[in-house]
Amino acid sequence: MFRTESEKNAVGATYCQRMEDLLQRSDFVMVVVNLSPHTHKLIGAKELAMMKPSSTLINISRGFVVDQDALVDALQKKLIRAAALDVAYPEPQPRDYSLLSFTNVIVLPHLGTDTVETTQVMVERMVTNALVTLTGGQPPDEVKA
């Protein structure tokens, strides 16, 4: 669905052509990218320093997309308000994991989508892929590296 410029502004949406602009203006920065050489540590010290002190970083991608040492430093220096991580490294986190010591950080064990509905869809897709493969067909969700 396409929206007019006034409709975009009515919901508070603003397009940022550069990531720097997005980081400087956003109250919440949600990282949703595939892990690749290009996105490894996409969010590091430089990017965290650009964020507002009142902003929250949310990572639902892969742990290595955020430089966690830089994140710890940014939180200690109060460069950002908080962080919510559905993914981190290493997984599972050890008990002395540095980010677990912050009261303004939520760390989940990569289960942000763990709902009954999502699990049902995932199982149905696995069964569909398995049955197609067993009959010699091309699985619809095949991942090619």
Catalytic residue among 91, 124, 125, 142, which?
A: 91
Look up residue 56 and give its amino acid: T
Would residue 5 show up in a list of annotated catalytic residues for this protein?
no
Q: Which amino acid is at 94?
A: P
How deeply is 106 buried, as exposed, middle or buried, from its count of CB atoms within 10 A (0-12, 13-18, 19+)? middle
Give just the sign of the alpha carbon dihedral 40, 44, 47, 51. Answer: positive
| CATH number of the domain bearing residue 92 | 3.40.50.720
Instruction: Indicate if 91 belongs to the active site.
Output: yes
Task: Encode pLDDT of 23-72 as tens digits.
Answer: 999 999 999 999 999 999 999 999 999 999 999 999 999 999 999 999 99
What domain count does the chain have?
2
Confidence (pTM): 0.73
At 2, the pLDDT band (50, 70, 90 cuts) reads very low
Please write the tens of the pLDDT for every residue from 120-137: 998 999 999 899 999 999
Query: Catalytic residue among 110, 117, 124, 142, which?
Result: 110
Question: Do 12 and 55 belong to one domain?
Answer: yes
In a domain, 2, yes or no: no
What is the per-residue pLDDT for 73? 97
Is 79 part of any domain? Answer: yes
3 is a domain residue: no
